[in-house]
Chains A and B, each alone.
Chain A
């Protein structure tokens, strides 16, 4: 796992977007840079208990995380992260992971 997740930030209007975009959804600029976002706050959470084929042996905690600087990521929540909590963000092979801050 590496620290932070990669978002895009518009160098013209400042809009930060996750997942990263090619053009800025706010101003249409193609002048976007990659930024690493390391912090956010959990806004909603759920526990995934069943998938196609039946119940999971190990349920997965999943949440929406409002990113510092803008944008919302869907993340795997580590133990101790609940709605409203400030979290640090990590990247696990592409999966955003939230850890208590």
Chain B
């Protein structure tokens, strides 16, 4: 049997904007894992590897989830890189199954973060933010990305309408995704009149936090989706630049060489979209074109971008935000994306970004998945 890592299935729970008191993080993670296993035609007894990314599972860790689920594991991973954790876990799981450390790995990510937990998380995200940002008070990442968007707007000569195009396009995709939280079409006037969070950002520019989880199943074999290329570049600049590039910029050339294709060959793209500005920055870093060209491809819908609606419309499941994009790419390549199916999707790309170490994200990664 081939030792190539394959993605055999994907699962996503329903996303809930206001979870009731009884919903626990381990329940949504378990649900996502069960759905992914069912999608792969497997059961808990087939699993011998588990990777988990979650902020709100604490004080439990991956080992505690394995106990809760009765999983006997020879490979175990706690991922602590937020929006980049899905592709980080896949980087490790891919090698684990190819080298025989595990046969069948479930990678699961998600959270149940109620407003008080969200505030606590953002203020104690790491030691630097706890010491220097929480006492400002900075109110979370929104104010930081307002500053980044300001730089990006000025440098590229963009207007708020330009960022709005991304939000509007993703809303349109969300209308075709029964699991997206915000499915109603958004008009540009409505976007521009949105309540200001931190200027120039309005509510529509900031991801709505939801409770939920996403999972994939990875195993070695010759069926399922193939990981064609994967690259990670964290802390590429030690937070010494202005945030207008991610780690993807430095690794893009080698990534596409490993993939043996170009951005133009990709059928469906999930870019980590905590804010519209990051969609543009990552696509430029990866060589999808100049800012104006990308905006044009979004406006004309030539680029199948964040076809689930992305986090901006579907919702951000805390640390599950990165897995959300991976699951959407898997769904599209499986031909299982329903009304939003991209015709004959064969190559899908997903990115991860995040862990706002101080002023911007310290983590960046990318994966290209192929339906052989």
Contact = CB atoms under 8 A, between A and B. Distances in A.
B196 A49 contact: yes
B86 interface: no
Interface in B136-182: 136-140, 142-144, 146-147, 150-151
Interface residues of B, number: 35
Contacts of B91: none
A95 interface: yes
Nearest to A56: B139
Interface in A58-81: 60, 62-64, 71-76
Contact of A95 (B128, B136, B201, B358): B136
Contact of A52 (B140, B144, B242, B358): B140
Contact of B147 (A19, A74, A94): A74
Interface of B: 115, 118-119, 122, 128, 131-140, 142-144, 146-147, 150-151, 195-201, 203, 238, 240, 242, 358-359
B359 A46 contact: no
B135 A95 contact: yes
A77 B300 CA distance: 41
A96 B132 contact: yes
B147 A64 contact: yes
B52 to A, nearest CB: 25
B139 A48 contact: yes
Contact of B136 (A43, A53, A64, A76): A76
29 contacts: A17-B240, A45-B147, A46-B143, A46-B146, A46-B147, A46-B150, A47-B196, A47-B198, A48-B197, A49-B197, A49-B198, A49-B199, A50-B196, A50-B203, A51-B139, A55-B195, A56-B139, A60-B139, A62-B143, A64-B147, A64-B359, A72-B359, A74-B143, A76-B136, A94-B132, A94-B134, A95-B135, A95-B137, A96-B132
A25 interface: yes
A95 B132 contact: yes
Given A17-B240, A64-B359, A75 B147 contact: no
Interface residues of A, number: 32
Given A19-B128, A47-B196, 8 more contacts: A48-B139, A50-B196, A51-B119, A52-B118, A74-B133, A74-B143, A74-B359, A94-B132
A12 interface: no
A48 B238 contact: no
Contacts of A51: 119, 139-140, 142
**Which secondary structure characterizes the binding site on chain B?**
mixed
A47 B142 CA distance: 11
Contact of A46 (B131, B140, B199, B203): B199
B240 A93 contact: no
Nearest to A53: B115
Question: Of A63, A64, A96, which is in contact with the most chain B CB atoms at under 10 Å from its CB?
Answer: A64
B240 A25 contact: yes
Nearest to A96: B132
Question: Of B119, B197, B242, which is in contact with the most chain A CB atoms at under 10 Å from its CB?
Answer: B197
Contacts of A76: 136
Nearest to A77: B136
Shortest 4 CB-CB contacts between residues of A and residues of B: A25-B238, A95-B135, A46-B146, A51-B139
A52 B240 CA distance: 29
Nearest to A24: B238
B119 A52 contact: yes
Contacts of A55: 195
A19 B143 contact: no
A44 B200 CA distance: 11
Contacts of B142: 48, 50-51
Contacts of A60: 136-139, 143
Nearest to A5: B132
Interface in A24-43: 25, 43
A93 B134 CA distance: 10
